[in-house]
Amino acid sequence: MAGDVLSQAEVESLLGEMEANVQTARQQTPGAVQPTASMLAASRSRDKIIPYDFKRPERVGKEQMRALQSLHEGFGRNFGAALSALLRTIVEVKLTSVDQLTYSEFVFSLENPSCFNVLKAEPLEGNLILDINPSILFPVIDRLLGGGKESGPTARRPLTEIELRLVSRLTNLFLIELHNAWENVVELELDVERVESNPQLVQIVPPNEVVVLISFELTIGDIRGMMHLCIPYNAIERIGNQLTSNTWVSYGKSGASEQSQQRIGRQLSR
């Protein structure tokens, strides 16, 4: 048996002879195309393996994601203007990201306690989530109570009843502008069902359900904070064909209504 085992040198010699024979056969074959460096590079690029995560399937199409991004960019500008009028200071609202992830990943990425608003958005199925980070929430409350631009350290506690009433002015303004932004897609009837302080206690969809997370950064002077709008996939599944790039164009070009002109006039007259 020992005589049947090849040494390493013999194995390398056999492999070298086989490769030489293959090259000779290719050269003798008429019309054979010899591979060039560019051809080998192209074949390697075609063979690139793209990983697919089954825990995070891309269920919302790219066109729908682009439409959601464009729609909420316009929403952010209008909401920033309305919030500036409410707080009587310059507030910048910037859309930072539109992502797909699972509901459990979204919940565990939030702070606890937080201002976790469960929204009802008829005719969409299920609920939406509006989360307001405490780092921007308490400065807004302080501003509504007559405070200046400077704010103390952020409190890490649930909101009191008085603070919830004040925050409702912010959330109601958010819902009004969100209704206007979605008007060309679907007429949403938005309302806050309840407000929770611990996001992990709210289960509107299964943990592995895909959601679209739309994140905004609010800037008031030197203070920055995040607001997150979470839309489950099952809520927009039936209106996916309406989420195209054409649905938000008319929203961005629509003229001012008489009601909005009167509102702006009252704010300027103050």
Cβ neighbours for 218, distance < 8 A, ≥ 6 positions apart: 80, 83, 91, 92, 93, 136, 224, 225, 226, 227
CA distances from 261 to 46, 94, 222 (A): 57, 24, 31
Give the per-residue pLDDT at 250: 43
Encode pLDDT of 13-43 as tens digits.
877 777 777 666 666 655 555 556 555 555 5
pTM: 0.68
Cβ neighbours for 183, distance < 8 A, ≥ 6 positions apart: 251
Check if the beta carbon of residue 114 is closer than 8 Å to that of residue 202.
Answer: no
Written as six digits, the tokens of 257 are 């209504």
Give the per-residue pLDDT at 47: 52
Give the per-residue pLDDT at 1: 46
What does residue 178 show for φ and ψ, rounded to 5 degrees?
-70, -40
Average pLDDT over residues 181-201: 90
Check if the beta carbon of residue 72 is closer than 8 Å to that of residue 214.
Answer: yes
Q: Residue 168 pLDDT more than 60?
A: yes
The three-point CA angle 185-186-190 to 5° equals: 130
Average pLDDT score, the chain: 81
> In the chain, what are the domain boundaries?
62-251+261-269
Question: Higher-confidence residue: 46 or 159?
Answer: 159
Superfamily of domain 62-251+261-269: CheC-like (3.40.1550.10)
Encode pLDDT of 204-226 as tens digits.
999 999 999 999 999 988 889 99
